[in-house]
Structure 1
Amino acid sequence: MEDVISLTGELWRFAVDPNGEGIEQEWFLQENQPYLEEKTRIAVPSCWNRRSSTEFKDYEGVAWYWRTFRTPKSFSNKKVFLFFAQIAHKATIYIDGLEIGSFHGAFLPFKFDISKFADNNTHFLAIRIDGKPDANRYISTEKVTEYFGIFGEVYIRTEKTLTLEERSMETVLRYDEISHKLNFAELTFSFYVKNAAEEDYTGEISIKITRDYVPVINIKRPIDVLKKNSRLSKIVVHINKEDLELWTPKSPNLYKLSVRIGNDEGGMIYIDENIGIREINVIGEQIMLNGAPFEIQGGDFPIDSEKYGYSNPRIDILDRFKRMKNQNINTIRSNQGILTPFIIELASRYGFLTLVDIPVTHLTTNEKQTFFNDYIDAITYQPSVALYTINFVLDPSDPKLNKLILDYEKMFTNRLDPTRYFLPVKTNFEAKTWYQEIDGKFIDTLK
C-alpha cells in the first residue's frame, strides 16, 4: 500500500535573505534558527509577494522556509520520496543540514528520495528559494507579474511495489452503417503496470463505471507482471446507446470510474475519478467534438491574482468559473504555466473545453517522467482536456524554441493515448469570441 503524509495546509517558519547570507551563516541547520532575526510564519501553499501580503509584497529575492517532519514506523525499509508540486522558482532542499537536491521549475512537479530519513525520528527541513527576476526557468515573451514561494502541495510518499507508470482512456464513437446514428462508445483503457518487487505478481484489474450510481460497466481481467518488470494491459469496453450520454460544454454529463488492481492480499492501485465520454479530433484549425465542428467562445483563465499570487483559493476559482459560464464562455486557456488538476476537474464538471498550455522548458529524463506521472497522466481521464499546446505568444520559428517544441511533441506522441493531442502552432482554433476579464468586466479581444 502507498502511504502519504501531507506537509501543507499549515504554517511554516519563514525569513527573507536579501543579502544572500543564509548559506554562509548555515541557516539550513536547526540549531541556528533561534538566532535568525525577523523570522515569521507563512502559510504553505502561498506566495510571499501576493498583494494581500503587506510585509513582503514587493520583495523579489532569496527567502527560506523551515519545518520539522517525522515519518511513521510503517515507512521504514521502504523507498520514500519528498514531493513538491510547485515552487517558484529556484529551490534548494536541505534535511538535517544536508543538501538533498535542487530544482529549477515553478510550474513543474519534482521529487527527492529521502529513504534514509524515514526512521521514525524528527528531522529538520529547510528550503532556500531564489526569487530574483533572473531565476525564472520557463520561456515567456510577455511582461507578467511573477510570484514566489511554495504555492503547491508538499508531501511525503512511499513507493509501492506495484505502480502505474502510465494510464489512458481512448474514446471512439461508433455509428450505425445504415442510419448513421450513434450506436455505442468504445472505450480502450490502457494500464502500464510496473512491478518493483523481487517476486512475480499475479492479480486482476477490475473496472467499474457507474452513471447516477447505476452500474454501466463492471468487469474483471487477470494480470500477471514479472518481478522487476512492466506489463501493458489494454481493456476495451462498450457503452451502448441506452446507457450513453455524451459530454459537451452544454451538457457536461459525467460517469464515475473506479479501477482496482490487486489480488487476494488487497488492492494495490486505486483510481476513482469522474470521466466524460466524448470524442475529440482536430482538422486544420477546427476542433471537432463528437463528430461535429465545435464553435469556440473562449476566455483566458489566469492562474494568478494580485491578492493570492499563484495560490488562489478554491472558492475564488469556483467563482471565476461561474462568471465565465454566465458570459457563455465554453473554452478556457491558461495565461501561464499549467493548470492544476483541481481546475481541470472543475472545467469538466461545469462544461469548459480546456486548451492546456504546457511550460516550455528543457526537461531532464527524470523531470519528463515526473511531469507526465504527476500532472499529464493525472488529468488524462478528464473530458474537459481538448489538447495540449504551447503559450499563444511564443514564436515557434525560433530555432532553439522549435527544437524544444519538437521534443515535447515526441513526448506526447510516445504515450499510450493516441488521442492526446499536442499542437505546436499558434492558432485561436477559429474562435468566435475570446474574452479577458479586466476589472470585473469581460472584454472580447477579437473585436
Structure 2
Amino acid sequence: MTNQPRADYPRPQFVRDSWMNLNGEWEFEFDDDRVGNREKWHLGNKALSKTIQVPFAFQSKLSGIGSNEFHDVVWYRRDLVIPDSFANKRILLHFGAVDYDASVWVNGNLVATHEGGHTPFHADITDALQEGTNKLVVKAVDYSKDVTLPRGKQYWLSDSASIFYTRTTGIWQTVWMEAVSAYAYLDKVRITPDIDNKQVELQFFIESAQAHEKQQVKVEISFKGKLVSEDTYLLKDSVGTRTVRLNDFNDHGLGGWWTPERPNLYDVTYTLLVNEQAVDQVTSYFGMRKVSIENGKLCLNNRPYFLKMVLDQGYFPDGNLTPPSDEAIKQDVELTKAMGFNGARKHQKLEDPRYLYWCDQLGLVVWSEAANAYEYTEKYVERFTKEWQASVDRDYNHPSIIAWVPLNESWGVPNIQIDKRQQQHALAMYHLTKSLDPMRPVISNDGWELVKTDLFAIHDYEWREEVLTERYSSEEKAVHAMPANRRLFVEGFPYENQPILVTEFGGIAYKKSEWEGWGYSGAENDEEYEQKLRAVIRPLLNSGVVQGYCYTQLTDVEQEINGLLTYDRQPKIPVELIKAINDRK
C-alpha cells in the first residue's frame, strides 16, 4: 500500500522523528443494512469489496469513489506491519478527524472509540499487536440528516444548495502512527507567551508507565539558529509548569514579536529524561505575541491592529473538506496574503493543523470557528461542548490564532433572542472558552444576536457604498443597525464599547469559470467587479468606527461564485489589484 497522498507530517507543532503515515489505499465498504457488527467485520477477516484513498471521504473525487449518496455507516480495513524501528516501544495510532462516530480495532481488539467529526484522537495499540501482519479496522457512523449534529457547512439534503455544501462521512484527515518510549513520553506541552514580562510559560504533560524517581525535561529554545535559552527542569508529577525568561526578547532585537508582517518564531526542543537517560524528544515552535483590548481598541502586541480578513470555507473541488496536498494549503495562505489580507476567518470548520502551521510560518492571523449544528437540543449541547473543548485544546499553542468563535449567526441557537436556555448556552460557551484560554478574545455569536462578547462582530451584505458609509459613521448607528433584519445584540446584553468589526460582507458574485452559482450582489465584467469591491471595502477602511473586516470570501465553493478566486484558485482579477484596494490605493 502507498503512503500517498497527503504524506506530510500531520502534527507540525509537536514533531517526533519516529512516525509512519497510514494514508493511501484502504479496503472500504458501505454498511447500509448495518450487518457489520453482527457479522463481526471488526475481526478483519472479511475482505471489503471497495477501495478508498484515505484521508479523503467517499463523497470526494480524490477518494476514488465520489458518491453523493447517503451511506451513514462505513467500514475501513487495511493490513498493518510495524517497522523494525518501532521495536520495544509503545505504538500510538492517531486519527486527525473521523466524521462522526469512530470505532477502531486492531486484530479484533477494540482500541478506541471517539465522538466528534472535527477533533483528533489516538490510541495506544501496543498490547493489541502481534508479530508480522496486523489487521486494522475502522467503523465510522455519520448522522447525515441530523440537524442537531455539529456539522458546519455539510448539507443534510442530497444535493448541496444555498450556503451548504457536500457532506463528509468517515476519515477525512491523516491517519498515522508514532513510536514512543515504553518508560515515559511527553503527551503535550501547553505554551503561553507573555510579551509584557519577556517570558514564556511551558506546561508539561507526561505519560509514564510507572512513577520514576527522577524525571526531567530539558528545554532548548533558539531563534533563527541561535540558542537563547537552555535549562533542565525536575518534574515530580505527571504535570509540571515552568516559566522561561527570554533575555534576548524585544521588538527590535534578535528575537521579536510575532505579527503577520513579521512572523518571528522561536524553535524549541524538549527532551524527556528518566534517571538522566533521554527517553523522548519532541521539536516544536512558538510565537511571542499578545492579543488584547485596550480602551475599546483591538490590539496586537499592545498596539491597535486593524484586521483585514477573508472568509475561508476550507473546501476544495476534488477533496471537499480535505486539501489535496500540503502545497494546496500553503497556496491558500500565500494567495490570501498576496491580496493584502492579514487574516482569515476559518468558517464552520476546525482546520487541518497543516493550515495553521503555514499561517504561523508565513504570517496570517486566524479566527478559529467551530463547526456548528443548526438546531438546539440537549444532545446537541453535550456533543458540541465536548468537541469545542477538544478544538481549543488542540490549537491553543498556535500564535496565528487570535480569536475563538464558538457560535456563528445563531446556528444551533436559532431562538436565542427569546429563548433563555439558548442564551445561557451561548454564555456558557463564552465563559467556557475564557476558562480554557484567557489570552484570546471570544465572540459569543458571530454576526448578530450577541450575548456577552469580547468583540462586536457584525455581518452585513449591503452593497451600496453610501449606505455602508452612513451606517458605520458612528458607534450608535453601527450597533443599532439591522443589516440582516436581525438585532445585533440580545435584549439584556447591550453594546459595552467592544471593538466593532464587520466580519462578513461583500460576497459579490462574479462568474469567471464554468461554475454556475450565486452571490449577495453581482458583477458582469472585471471593471464592474473592481468597482463593487471598492464600494464595499472603502467605507469600512474609512469608517473610523470599524476596527476590522472579513470579506466573503476567498474562493468560489460549489454553487457559490462569490469568491475572490475561482474554486480552482484562479484570481478573478489580479491579486495586486485586490491588494491595492485593501491598501487604500
Structure 2 partner of 1:182: none
Q: Structure 1 residues 70 and 285, CA, compared in 2 at 3 Å: closer, same or farther?
A: farther
Q: Is the 8 A contact 1:60 1:131 kept in 2?
A: no
Contact persistence 1:92–1:127 (CA under 8 A)? yes
Normalising by structure 2, we get a TM-score of 0.62
Q: In 2, are the aligned partners of 1:278 and 1:383 still within 8 Å (CA)?
A: yes
Q: Secondary structure at the match of 1:225?
A: coil
**1:319 counterpart SS class:** helix
Distance 1:3 1:273 in 2: 12
- 2:298 matches 1:287: yes
Residues 1:393 and 2:424 aligned together? no
- Alignment partner for residue 174 of structure 2, among 117, 129, 153? 153
Judged with a 3 Å threshold, the aligned counterparts in structure 2 of structure 1 residues 93 and 221 are, in CA distance, closer, same or farther, namely closer
Equivalent residue number for residue 170 of structure 1: 193
The 1-side partners of 2:563 and 2:150 are apart by 30
| 1:277–1:107 distance in 2 versus 1, CA, 3 Å | same
Quick one: which of 353, 356, 373 aligns to 2:368? Answer: 356
Query: Identity of counterpart residues, as a percentage?
Result: 16
What SS does the corresponding residue of 2:355 show, helix, strand or coil?
Answer: helix
1:192 matched to 2:204: yes
Which stretch of the first structure deviates more once superposed, 8-17 or 259-268?
259-268
Q: Summarize the alignment of residues 295-310 of structure 1 with structure 2, pairs less than 5 Å apart.
A: 295-310=306-321
For the pair 1:210 / 2:223, whether they are aligned, the reply is: yes
Q: Is the 8 A contact 1:75 1:158 kept in 2?
A: yes
Aligned pairs (5 A) from 1:49-60: 49-51=59-61, 55-60=65-70
Q: Larger strand proportion, structure 1 or 2?
A: 1
Equivalent in 96, 103, 108 of residue 107 of structure 2: 96
Structure 1 counterpart of 2:398, one-letter code: Q
Alignment of 1:403-422 (within 5 A): 403-405=424-426, 408-409=429-430, 411-415=432-436, 418-422=438-442
Q: Which amino acid aligns with 1:302?
A: Q
Answer yes or no: is the 8 Å Cα contact 2:187–2:207 preserved in 1. no
Indicate conservation of the 8 Å contact 2:56/2:172, yes or no.
Answer: yes
Q: In structure 1, what is the Cα distance between the partners aligned to 2:130 and 2:63? A: 37
Q: Which residue type is aligned with residue 24 of structure 1? A: R
The secondary structure found in structure 2 opposite 1:32 is coil
- C-alpha offsets along residues 177-203 of structure 1, whole Å, 9 cap, x if unaligned? xxxxxxxx6122222343632322243
Residue matched to 2:327: 315
8 Å Cα contact 1:75-1:118 kept in structure 2 = no
Hey, what does 1:47 align to over in structure 2?
Answer: 57
Letter in 2 for 1:26: K
Task: Give the deviation of 1:308 after TM superposition.
Answer: 0.6
Contact 1:164 1:194 in 2 (8 A): yes
Hey, what does 1:178 align to over in structure 2? none
SS of the aligned residue for 1:277 comes to coil
**What is the number of equivalent residue pairs in this alignment?**
421
Structure 2: gaps of 5 or more residues: 1-14, 154-162, 373-379, 447-456, 459-499, 502-547, 566-577, 579-585
Q: Are 2:18 and 1:18 aligned?
A: no
Aligned-pair CA distance for 1:302: 1.9
Cα pair 1:92 1:103 within 8 Å, conserved: yes
Aligned residue in 2 for 1:344: 356
Is residue 13–residue 65 contact of structure 1 (8 Å, CA) maintained in 2?
Answer: yes
CA shift in 2, pair 1:322/1:193, >3 Å: closer
Closer, same or farther: CA 404–69 of 1 in aligned 2, 3 Å: farther
Tell me the SS of whatever aligns to 1:192: strand
1:9 & 1:26 partners in 2: Cα distance? 24
Provide Cα deviations, 1:263-320, integer angstroms capped at 9, x if missing partner: 6744345343343332211358743112222111111122222311222122222222
Deviations 1:240-281 (A, max 9, x none): 443243322223233333343436744345343343332211
Question: 2 CA distance for matches of 1:122 and 1:344?
Answer: 35
- Partner Cα distance (1:340, 1:4) in 2: 21
Distance 1:6 1:323, change over 3 A: same
Aligned mates of 2:207, 2:134 — CA distance in 1 = 31
Instruction: Decide whether aligned partners of structure 1 residues 16 and 285 sit closer, same or farther in structure 2, where only a CA change above 3 A counts.
Output: farther
What stretches of structure 1 of length at least 5 have no aligned partner? Answer: 174-184
Separation in 2 of the partners of 1:362 and 1:356? 19
Indicate the residue corresponding to 2:45 in structure 1: 31
Q: Does 1:383 align with 2:408?
A: no
Aligned to 2:127: 116
Quick check: 1:45–1:150 contact (8 Å CA) kept in 2?
yes
CA contact (8 A) 1:70 1:118 kept: no
1:400 to 1:85, Cα distance in 2 relative to 1, 3 A: farther
Contact 1:193 1:232 in 2 (8 A): no
Q: C-alpha separation between the residues in 2 aligned to 1:74 and 1:287?
A: 50
| 1-structure distance, mates of 2:420, 2:194 | 36
